[in-house]
């Protein structure tokens, strides 16, 4: 298995965290991982992104030129990375704030209304987790439980009460992607 | 479930330093190494050490000199422009024959440059940096785990040779998160090294001569004696401390030479080329000084090898040492960019193919 | 026969390199006597500067460092943080402390670093051959102000004691002089007070000592003492500027 994903959006949308949760979940499942935050010129545009590589072999280059999946949380991120996705790759678009569709016809594209899902759950902060739910359901590269484990690891005991709403967000995101998460 | 933990390079370096015996840290904020002092400021007091944010990199490096002269296991970290400022202290520490560990999480230069990853400080690190004839032992890790392993042992090496040791990491190593295994804390016995030369407080009959921590050798004979000591020590280090890794060098047509993060891009290129049936290998220097010249020569001298290619995140610095090692036996080509651009897997593959066809 | 005078144990019995009439020898002895009298010598670490006192490590009979130009307070910080119970002092001239090392001395004071600084102000760079210092008086001729210091060109001399006294971390700041016996006795008292301040962990302490440089001033030792009195003290008033 080899997942090479780019998570991109505005600073504050939790894109770095999405990548970290995925990397941690994949590590819990025994895979090799590397997480690389946006670094250098792309930070100037006010966008943040991170690259996550998940592999059964040791990760060689952690730099991702052609992602297997792009998770675009805002329009500039979609514009920037859309053409770099591998053929037959996956594209996750935050349809709450990105109005356009993909211009490519060789991708599996998923349009996820992250903000609406989060607002519906009464916790606007979990928009990124809804998107992660869609991603996990569509790629099946890690299990929902591993993401929950990763969340628990990240949140610690003090914020344990936030797990249920995050679990709901994962599921709603998965549903929006047309996948039912088990 | 694995016992590995996901850690960011800078924080992993800091924690590994503590476990390797670091008890004093003097630094100054600069991107992209800020996670190191931030981490140290929280952790060092927990283990009975001292973290101090200095007023400048110049002061920080001189505080390191002060603490190293007192016999402490001490470290500083910075990024390229800050390392330039630290050179006064580094040269002083080398001249005074003191041990310490310096981490440079490289960013692009010259001047203030940028904050993106770079390997533009190779010359500065391995050829001196500050004034005078001296060397640092310089490591160029290619992963967070390797950075941990190197930093963990760096204080032992620094103490053994009474020399500054530098970890030359690029910004990617500093910012990347990878699964790592953190070594155990070294015991107090393990990190307690006899330092009878240290300035700890002295009185007649205390069992050692009065300590003078100094890099001033005003008499010609004294300066010559220093250099004889240093050079003799450097020859021993060259014999003992060279580290490198070979990757797929057997029957290779082209040998890549790369260190740090870019060596991993090379590894991806080598794997893809292998799928096409093109045999390419790599020599990855782990110590940049002492440079693994013999290992480079041995790999490139193989009859199967047509050419070598050095790949760097710079305009071409390490390539000069590679060419010195190969000494004209075969061509050592170069691929790399200074500034914000990093050679891609495709570019490396294209360059290798072009070299084969030349 | 009763012994009425003995060399202090704080100084090593070697000839020093200072010029006739230079104040460094006097201040060295005062520092050494104080360290001996306070029974501090066996846990004192000194830091020598770059400047005329560069070889101070050959004279003070305790563990010593030689620091890069201006960095003695940073070096002392490192030494003190490793051994907080040691007595750590820097011995610095005006080029070292008031020019290239202003950041280090200001921030040592700012941190309330528990060290003592002995600052020799002789209004000139001695070791490098009589160049203008930040402390050089307006009109004073030096090798880099051959027509006398021009305040429009390079400002007016800096008063370090007053400056450092404004910093919260400073616990004891005094300016003295060594141009006559009375002032020398006052200087010794100030040095003692400064070391006491350090050992009581009150904060940073400094004694600025107005001193003579007959060689680079182009004066005889006696003329130099008089010049210090007539020209320096009016601009650099003696006294305690901070005491907590």
A88-141 pLDDT, tens digit each: 999 999 999 999 999 999 999 999 999 999 999 999 999 999 999 999 999 999
Instruction: Locate the domains of chain C by residue range.
Output: 24-243
Task: Tell me whether residues B199 and C64 touch, CB distance under 8 A.
Answer: yes
Task: Tell me whether residues A23 and B264 touch, CB distance under 8 A.
Answer: no
Residue A1: pLDDT over 90: no
Interface contact B248, partner A, CB < 8 A: no
* B269 lies in the same domain as B233: no
Interface contact C30, partner B, CB < 8 A: no
Chain B nearest-CA residue for A17: B177
* Strand B212-213 versus strand C87-93 pairing type: unpaired
Distance from CA of C238 to the nearest CA of B (A): 30
Task: Tell me whether residues B178 and A59 touch, CB distance under 8 A.
Answer: yes
Query: Residue B64: its chain C contacts at CB < 8 A?
Result: 78
Cβ C124 vs Cβ C136: under 8 Å:
yes
B26-80 pLDDT, tens digit each: 999 999 999 999 999 999 999 999 999 999 999 999 999 999 999 999 999 999 9
In the DSSP assignment, the letter for residue A97 is T
Across residues B117-133, what is the average pLDDT?
Answer: 95
* B318 lies in the same domain as B175: no
Residue A45: pLDDT over 60: no
Query: Residue B67: its chain C contacts at CB < 8 A?
Result: 78-79, 81-82
Interface contact B24, partner C, CB < 8 A: yes
Task: Tell me whether residues C41 and B203 touch, CB distance under 8 A.
Answer: yes
Query: Residue A23: its chain B contacts at CB < 8 A?
Result: 6, 177
In the DSSP assignment, the letter for residue B212 is E
State percent of chain B over pLDDT 90. 96
Q: Is the model more confident about B343 or about C5?
A: B343
Chain A nearest-CA residue for B172: A36
C-alpha–C-alpha distance, residues B76 and B88, integer Å: 14
Task: Tell me whether residues B200 and C86 touch, CB distance under 8 A.
Answer: yes
The number of beta carbons lying within 10 Å of the beta carbon of residue C124 is 28
Q: Given 3-state DSSP classes, what are the helix, strand and coil percentages for chain A, each rounded to the nearest 5?
A: 45, 20, 35
Domain boundary among B240, B269, B304: B240
Residue B2: pLDDT over 60: no
Query: Residue C47: its chain B contacts at CB < 8 A?
Result: 66
* B119 lies in the same domain as B11: yes
Cis peptide before B110 (omega within 30 of 0): yes
Query: What pLDDT was estimated at residue A46?
Result: 64
The number of beta carbons lying within 10 Å of the beta carbon of residue A145 is 13
* Angle between helix B144-161 and helix B220-240 axes, rounded to 10 deg: 140
Residue A40: pLDDT over 60: no
Q: What is the CATH number of the domain that holds B271?
A: 3.40.50.920
Sheet holding B287-289, edge to edge: B50-53, B24-27, B74-78, B100-106, B164-170, B137-139, B287-289
Query: Residue A35: its chain B contacts at CB < 8 A?
Result: 6, 176-178
Partner residue opposite C74 with nearest CB, options B54, B71, B206:
B54
Token code pair at residue C156: 């007016």
Q: Which residues contact C98 (CB under 8 A, 6 or more apart)?
A: C105, C119, C121, C133, C134, C135, C158, C160
Overall domain count for chain B: 2
Among C53, C82, C88, C114, the strongest candidate for a mutation testing the B interface, having the largest count of B CBs within 10 A, is C82
SS3 B214: coil
State percent of chain A over pLDDT 90. 88
Query: Residue B118: its chain A contacts at CB < 8 A?
Result: none
The number of beta carbons lying within 10 Å of the beta carbon of residue B85 is 17
Residue B183: pLDDT over 70: yes
Domain boundary among B240, B261, B293: B240
Residue B345: pLDDT over 50: yes
* B265 lies in the same domain as B235: no
* Strand B212-213 versus strand A90-94 pairing type: unpaired
Query: Residue B350: its chain A contacts at CB < 8 A?
Result: none
Query: What pLDDT was estimated at residue B3?
Result: 83
- CATH homologous superfamily, domain A2-176: Pyruvate-ferredoxin oxidoreductase, PFOR, domain III (3.40.920.10)
Across residues B117-121, what is the average pLDDT?
Answer: 94
SS3 B25: strand
Among C40, C52, C75, C113, the strongest candidate for a mutation testing the B interface, having the largest count of B CBs within 10 A, is C75
C-alpha–C-alpha distance, residues B8 and A168, integer Å: 29
A55-102 pLDDT, tens digit each: 999 999 999 999 999 999 999 999 999 999 999 999 999 999 999 999
Cβ C88 vs Cβ C47: under 8 Å:
yes
Interface contact B256, partner A, CB < 8 A: no
CATH class of C24-243: alpha beta
Confidence category of residue A43, pLDDT binned at 50, 70, 90:
very low
Confidence category of residue B168, pLDDT binned at 50, 70, 90:
very high
C-alpha–C-alpha distance, residues B307 and B256, integer Å: 9
Token code pair at residue C66: 């030689």
* B235 lies in the same domain as B248: no
Task: Tell me whether residues B52 and C82 touch, CB distance under 8 A.
Answer: no
Chains A and C touch (3+ CB pairs under 8 A): no
* B22 lies in the same domain as B54: yes
* B234 lies in the same domain as B287: no
Q: Which of residues 161-200 of B touch C (CB under 8 A)?
A: 199-200
Question: What's chain B's average pLDDT?
Answer: 97
Query: What pLDDT was estimated at residue B116?
Result: 87
B71-98 pLDDT, tens digit each: 999 999 999 999 999 999 999 999 999 9
Sheet holding A2-10, edge to edge: A108-112, A90-94, A69-72, A2-10, A47-55, A32-37, B177-180, B5-8
Confidence category of residue A181, pLDDT binned at 50, 70, 90:
low
Task: Tell me whether residues B212 and C42 touch, CB distance under 8 A.
Answer: no
Q: Which chains touch B (3 or more CB pairs under 8 A)?
A: A, C
Query: What pLDDT was estimated at residue C4?
Result: 86
Distance from CA of B56 to the nearest CA of C (A): 8
Tell me the pTM: 0.95
Within-domain flag for B88: yes
Partner residue opposite C68 with nearest CB, options B72, B88, B200:
B88
| Tens-digit pLDDT string for chain C (244 aa) | 788 888 999 999 999 999 999 999 999 999 999 999 999 999 999 999 999 999 999 999 999 999 999 999 999 999 999 999 999 999 999 999 999 999 999 999 999 999 999 999 999 999 999 999 999 999 999 999 999 999 999 999 999 999 999 999 999 999 999 999 999 999 999 999 999 999 999 999 999 999 999 999 999 999 999 999 999 999 999 999 999 9
Cβ B152 vs Cβ B19: under 8 Å:
yes
Residue-number span of the structural domain to which B266 is assigned: 244-357
Residue A44: pLDDT over 90: no
Chains B and A touch (3+ CB pairs under 8 A): yes
Interface contact C100, partner B, CB < 8 A: no
Chain B nearest-CA residue for C57: B212
* B232 lies in the same domain as B268: no
Query: What pLDDT was estimated at residue A42?
Result: 47
Task: Tell me whether residues B264 and A65 touch, CB distance under 8 A.
Answer: no
Confidence category of residue B217, pLDDT binned at 50, 70, 90:
very high
């Amino acid at each position: 298995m080899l997942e090479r994903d780019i998570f991109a959006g505005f600073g504050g949308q939790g894109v770095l965290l999405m990548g970290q949760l995925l990397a941690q979940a994949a590590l819990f499942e025994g895979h090799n991982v590397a997480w690389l935050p946006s670094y250098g010129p792309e930070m100037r545009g006010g966008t943040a992104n991170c690259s996550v590589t998940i592999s059964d072999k040791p990760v060689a280059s952690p730099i991702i030129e052609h992602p297997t999946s792009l998770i675009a949380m805002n329009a500039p991120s979609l514009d920037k990375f859309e053409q770099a996705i591998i053929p037959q790759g996956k594209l996750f678009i935050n349809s709450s704030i990105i109005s356009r569709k993909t211009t490519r016809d060789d991708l599996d594209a998923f349009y996820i209304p992250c903000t609406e899902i989060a607002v519906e759950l009464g916790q606007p902060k979990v928009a990124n987790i809804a998107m992660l739910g869609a991603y996990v359901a569509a790629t099946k590269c890690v299990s929902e439980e591993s993401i929950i484990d990763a969340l628990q690891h990240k949140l610690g005991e003090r914020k344990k009460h936030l797990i249920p709403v995050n679990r709901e967000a994962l599921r709603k995101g998965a549903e929006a992607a047309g996948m039912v998460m088990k | 479930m694995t016992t590995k933990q996901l850690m960011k390079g800078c924080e992993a370096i800091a924690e590994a330093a503590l476990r390797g015996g670091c008890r004093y840290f003097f630094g100054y904020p600069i991107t992209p190494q800020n996670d190191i002092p931030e981490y140290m400021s929280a952790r060092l007091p927990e283990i009975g050490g001292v973290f101090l944010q200095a007023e400048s990199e110049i002061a920080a490096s001189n505080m390191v000199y002060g603490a190293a002269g007192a016999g402490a296991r001490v470290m500083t970290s910075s990024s390229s422009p800050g390392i330039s400022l630290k050179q006064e202290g580094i040269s002083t520490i080398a001249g005074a024959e003191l041990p310490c560990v310096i981490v440079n999480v490289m960013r692009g230069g010259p001047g203030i440059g940028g904050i993106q990853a770079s390997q533009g400080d190779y010359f500065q690190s391995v050829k001196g940096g500050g004034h005078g004839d001296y060397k640092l032992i310089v490591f160029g890790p290619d992963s967070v785990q390797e950075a941990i392993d190197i930093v963990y042992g760096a204080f032992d090496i620094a103490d053994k040779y009474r020399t500054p040791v530098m970890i030359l990491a690029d910004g990617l190593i500093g910012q990347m998160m990878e699964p790592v295994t953190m070594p155990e804390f070294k015991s107090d016995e393990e990190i307690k090294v006899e330092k009878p030369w240290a300035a700890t407080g002295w009185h007649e009959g205390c069992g050692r001569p009065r300590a003078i921590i100094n890099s001033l050798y005003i008499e010609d004979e004294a300066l010559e004696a220093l250099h004889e000591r240093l050079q003799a020590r450097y020859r021993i280090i060259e014999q003992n401390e060279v580290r490198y890794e070979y990757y797929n060098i057997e029957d290779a047509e082209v040998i890549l030479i790369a260190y740090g993060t870019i060596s991993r891009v090379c590894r991806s290129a080598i794997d893809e080329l292998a799928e096409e049936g093109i045999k390419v290998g790599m020599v990855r220097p782990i110590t940049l000084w002492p440079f693994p010249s013999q290992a480079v020569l041995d790999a490139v001298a193989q009859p199967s090898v047509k050419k070598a290619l050095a790949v760097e995140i710079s305009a071409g610095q390490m390539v000069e040492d590679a060419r010195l090692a190969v000494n004209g036996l075969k061509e050592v080509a170069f691929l790399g960019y200074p500034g914000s651009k990093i050679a891609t897997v495709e570019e490396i593959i294209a360059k290798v193919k072009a070299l084969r066809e030349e | 026969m009763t012994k009425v005078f003995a060399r202090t144990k704080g100084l090593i019995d070697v000839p020093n390199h200072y010029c006739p009439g230079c104040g460094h020898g006097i201040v060295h002895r005062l520092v050494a006597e104080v360290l001996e009298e306070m029974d501090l010598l066996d846990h004192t670490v000194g830091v020598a500067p770059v400047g005329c006192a560069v070889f101070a490590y050959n004279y003070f009979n305790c563990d010593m460092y030689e620091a890069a130009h201006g960095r003695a307070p940073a070096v002392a910080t490192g030494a003190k943080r490793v051994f907080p119970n040691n007595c750590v002092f820097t011995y610095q001239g005006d080029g070292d402390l008031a020019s290239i090392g202003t950041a280090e001395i200001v921030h040592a004071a700012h941190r309330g670093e528990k060290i003592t600084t002995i600052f020799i102000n002789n209004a000139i760079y001695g070791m490098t051959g009589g160049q203008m210092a930040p402390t050089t008086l307006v009109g004073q001729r030096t090798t880099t102000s051959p027509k006398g210091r021009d305040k429009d060109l390079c400002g007016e001399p800096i008063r370090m004691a007053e400056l450092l006294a404004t910093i919260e971390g400073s616990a004891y700041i005094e300016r003295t002089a060594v141009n006559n016996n009375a002032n020398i006795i006052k200087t010794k008292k100030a040095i003692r007070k400064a070391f006491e301040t350090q050992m009581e962990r009150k904060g940073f302490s400094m004694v600025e000592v107005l001193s003579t440089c007959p060689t680079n001033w182009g004066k005889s030792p006696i003329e130099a003492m008089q010049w210090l009195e007539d020209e320096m003290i009016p601009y650099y008033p003696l006294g305690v500027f901070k005491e907590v």
